[in-house]
Structures are given as structure tokens and as C-alpha cells.
Amino acid sequence: MIELIKKKRDGQALNKSEYQELINGFVEGKIPDYQMAAFLMAAYFKGLNPEETANLTDTMMRSGDLIDLSEIEGIKVDKHSTGGVGDKTSLILGPLVAAAGVPVAKMSGRGLGHTGGTLDKMESIKGLSVDMTREEFITQIKKINIAICGQNARLVPADKKLYALRDVTGTVGDVSLISSSIMSKKLACGADAIVIDIKVGEGAFMKNVKDAEELAKMMIQIGKNMNRQVIAVISAMQQPLGRTVGNALEVKEAIQTLKGKGPKDLTDLCLELGSHMLVLGEVAPDFDSAKSKLEELIQSDAAFDKFKELVQAQGGDINMVENMGDLPSTKFLKDYKSPQAGYINKLDAMQIGLASVQLGAGRATKESQIDYGAGIILHKKIGDTIQKGDILATLYANEESFFEKAESFMDKAYQFSDKAPQEQPLIHKTVRYNPSKSKV
């Protein structure tokens, strides 16, 4: 291990067998944290070349169970988001894409810190279970074309151990380490093709488009090396996506979007990501025809019907979906009002996410309990004109004392100006592999 640390410290590349020795030894407890921490810091400063990143990803992927989805007919297309505030796209995309004929085998995670988790949102529907055996998972996809469940604890254990160490040693931000973390989990889940939504902005890990594009290229290259098609969409996260932040609140907005009544930014992003998924799944010849197909599925209620099928198949109370008033709510609500007139110039997604945690909608630690009804509805967003005293947002909590803490974050989230801010694009860039040029 000392030789491997020195090799990377001196900027040399490790080969595949060396990465196998490194990762397997760490997972088995033969390599202590302090040595792996030293290696991670060396990797952070010296970097990994594309071949090393692919070898690291492959070794991490094989450190635990691999999900074989080959018995499910069709091209299985997965979607991954790098995390954001108000990002309920999986709740919409899963049923929408499944209704179009693409099998959706989705393994999702829980929320931590300022970002929400798909599983927590789904569990705000009474009775719905996200715990499934491999057999139940595959059987459900064969039957209704979609299943969304929690990740198996035996899936990529190397990533769980490595990420925990990266988090406390300041080595999270390396593009190769981020790429291998994301792709090892996605590839272990058995997808044939993957659409990755890379968030950029105040509420995202990636703060600028240049870094996001570098990450996109790295993940696409890993996919190519492992015979998987990957498309990356770089999207904005300078403000929350949609108008709701919280679990049941986001489920309501997802249902409204599936019915064609959702906010424009959320609808547009889902159509963008979903269209790429349909093309990769070979149920549409090109992006425009895929988008038209998705719009028809929303207008005809076929997408919403598929969502109801999903909820029912996983034991959820269908009455909560058909009558959204039955979803969890809170005892108290409070309007957050504008301190001045003008335009909203900034709406910091991270601060809004942290405010929602204070209300009980998110986790400060992995052990924190979630209040499914808590959260925030945003009535005004960037570019909107406001008068002093206008309601900018409504806060929901089951403890009145939570409002004061949350409002301290809300105060940091908003900035105002006398002039309308320049409109920012929702989609910054789409990155894909070009076979004719043999590069991203």
C-alpha cells in the first residue's frame, strides 16, 4: 500500500490489478483509513487519467452485488441527478418514460443535508414500500414496466466506504472520484443506457458549467469503456426546481406535472431528460419525436395512470394520489413576505434547502426523522416583480418554533434589485459521445 501511495503521489498511473488490490483491500478492512486517506489526497492533487478512472470504476462496481436485468425485454434506461433542491424529476420521469415503452428499473437514494431524496418523497404516500427483493423488483418491471426501490446495502460497498472517507478528508471534489462514485452505482444497477442530469449553480455541487462539462465527459467516457451509452444534460440549479421543496409537497407537484399542470421549468426539464431516455431506449427515432410522444402521454393521462400503477404495485394508498388533500400536511403554516419592492435578483437554492431542513423536511444527519408534510411553497422566483409585503413563500411545519430558524435561511436566500435580472437558461448544454469523432 505504501508503494501505491508513493506511485500516485509522484503522479504515476496505477494499473487495473493495482486498483483491485487497493479497493478490495480497503473493503475487506486490510487497508486502514489513514492509508486510504493518503492515497485519496494524492489522487486529488495528481489526478487520474481516463484509463485509471475506468479501472477504478470497474473495481468499485464489482466490490458487491451486480444486478442482472437481462431477463427484462428492451433497453433499460436509467436516469441520475447529481442532486438539487426541489428536484422531483424521478417521480415524473419514471412513469412518463415507462408509459412510452421504456423499462425503468430505478434504484434511488434518500435525502441528506439540503438535497432531497426520491425514496423519502415516495414514502410520504401511506403504505408505499421501497424495499424490494431482486425477484420482486424484476417481476414488477416485467408487469408494469417500472419499479423504484432503495439501493441494496450490498451494492457497491466500496463507494459507501470511500465516500465517507472523502467527505471528512476534503477530497470529494475530484472529477475522477466523483465520476467513479456515480458510475459504479449506476452500472452495478444493470442499466443499458444512462441519462445524467448534472446540476450547476448555488444549490449544486458543481458551481460552473466548465467543471460540469468536464464531469460529463468523464462519465460518458467511462460508459463507452464499459459498452454503455451515456448522455449528460447540464441544467441550472441557481434556484429550486419547480415551486415546492419538501416530500408530500413535491409529490403533489409531480402529480400536477404528470397531469400537464406543473410549473414550466420542471415540465421542460422532464421533457428534455425523458426525450433523451426514449431515444436511448430506441422507442423514438429522434429527440423531437420523443418529446411529442411524451407530451401526448401527459395530455392523455397515460403518464398519470402509470404513476398510479406504480403506487398501487408498491402498496401505496391510491386515494392519496387521486385526492392529494389526503397526503401528509402540517399543523402550522407561515407566509414569508418581501421586505422591499423590486425584482427578485437571486433565490439561493442551497439556502432554501437548508430552510426546509429546519422545518423538518430534510435530514441534518442520517439518523434524523423526516416530517413528510413539512416544506416550502415558492410563490415568487427569480425575475418576478414584487411589492413590499408580497408573499414570497409559504412555510409548513408541525412546530411553530421551527419558523424562526427557517426564516434566517430564507433571509439569506433572497436578493432584490431595481432592474429585472438577465434570464438564465434552464439547460446549459447537452454532452454526448460522437462515434464518428471517437471522442466526447
* pLDDT single digits (tens) 192-223: 999 999 999 887 878 899 999 999 999 999 99
Indicate if 65 belongs to the active site. no
Looking at the fold, whether 196 and 226 belong to one and the same domain comes out as yes
Looking at the fold, whether 232 and 248 belong to one and the same domain comes out as yes
Q: Tens digits of per-residue pLDDT, 245-297?
A: 999 999 999 999 999 999 999 999 999 999 999 999 999 999 999 999 999 99
Q: Tens digits of per-residue pLDDT, 34-88?
A: 999 999 999 999 999 989 999 999 999 999 999 999 999 999 999 999 888 999 9
CATH number at residue 54: 1.20.970.10
Write down the catalytic residue from 76, 114, 166, 186.
Answer: 166
Looking at the fold, whether 14 and 50 belong to one and the same domain comes out as yes
Helix axes 302-313, 247-258, angle to 10 degrees: 140
Looking at the fold, whether 96 and 226 belong to one and the same domain comes out as yes
The predicted pLDDT at position 440 comes to: 55
Looking at the fold, whether 295 and 353 belong to one and the same domain comes out as no
Q: β-pairing, 342-347 with 385-386?
A: antiparallel
d(Cα 102, Cα 95) in Å, to the nearest integer? 10
Look up the domain containing 362 and give its range. 329-417
**Residue type at position 334:** K
Looking at the fold, whether 184 and 305 belong to one and the same domain comes out as yes
Higher pLDDT, 112 or 49: 49
Is the separation of the CB atoms in 93 and 277 below 8 Å? yes
Write down the catalytic residue from 90, 124, 181, 356.
Answer: 181
CATH number at residue 340: 3.90.1170.30
CATH number at residue 121: 3.40.1030.10
Looking at the fold, whether 151 and 134 belong to one and the same domain comes out as yes
Looking at the fold, whether 171 and 86 belong to one and the same domain comes out as yes
Buried-exposed string 41-54: b where 16+ CB fall within 10 A, e elsewhere: bbbbeebbeeebbb
Write down the catalytic residue from 58, 87, 159, 371.
Answer: 159
The predicted pLDDT at position 148 comes to: 93
Q: In terms of DSSP H, where are the helices of 300-400?
A: 302-313, 318-322, 349-359
Examine residue 116 and state whether it is found in any structural domain, yes or no. yes
Examine residue 68 and state whether it is found in any structural domain, yes or no. no
Q: Per the structure block, which three cell numbers stand in for 121? A: 418523497
- What radius of gyration do the chain's Cα atoms show? 22
Q: Is the pLDDT of residue 366 over 70?
A: no
The predicted pLDDT at position 363 comes to: 76
d(Cα 85, Cα 199) in Å, to the nearest integer? 10
Indicate if 80 belongs to the active site. yes
* Beta pairing partners, 106: 148
Looking at the fold, whether 170 and 258 belong to one and the same domain comes out as yes
Mean pLDDT across the stretch 167-188? 89
Mean pLDDT across the stretch 419-439? 81
CA 290 to chain centre: 22
Write down the catalytic residue from 76, 79, 80, 252.
Answer: 80
Q: Per the structure block, which three cell numbers stand in for 439? A: 471522442
In the DSSP assignment, the letter for residue 326 is G
Q: Is the pLDDT of residue 436 over 60?
A: no
- Where does the pLDDT of residue 298 fall: very low under 50, low under 70, confident under 90, or very high at 90 and above? very high
Looking at the fold, whether 89 and 234 belong to one and the same domain comes out as yes
Mean pLDDT across the stretch 179-184? 91
pTM: 0.91
Indicate if 159 belongs to the active site. yes
Q: β-pairing, 385-386 with 193-200?
A: unpaired
Examine residue 439 and state whether it is found in any structural domain, yes or no. no
Is the separation of the CB atoms in 394 and 334 below 8 Å? yes
d(Cα 10, Cα 208) in Å, to the nearest integer? 29
- Domain boundary (13, 28, 61) is at 61
Q: Is the pLDDT of residue 19 over 90?
A: yes
Indicate if 166 belongs to the active site. yes
Please state the domain count of the chain. Answer: 3
Looking at the fold, whether 57 and 89 belong to one and the same domain comes out as no
The predicted pLDDT at position 344 comes to: 98
Mean pLDDT across the stretch 16-27? 97
Examine residue 67 and state whether it is found in any structural domain, yes or no. no
Looking at the fold, whether 208 and 100 belong to one and the same domain comes out as yes
Examine residue 70 and state whether it is found in any structural domain, yes or no. no
Examine residue 438 and state whether it is found in any structural domain, yes or no. no
What average pLDDT does the structure give for the chain? 93
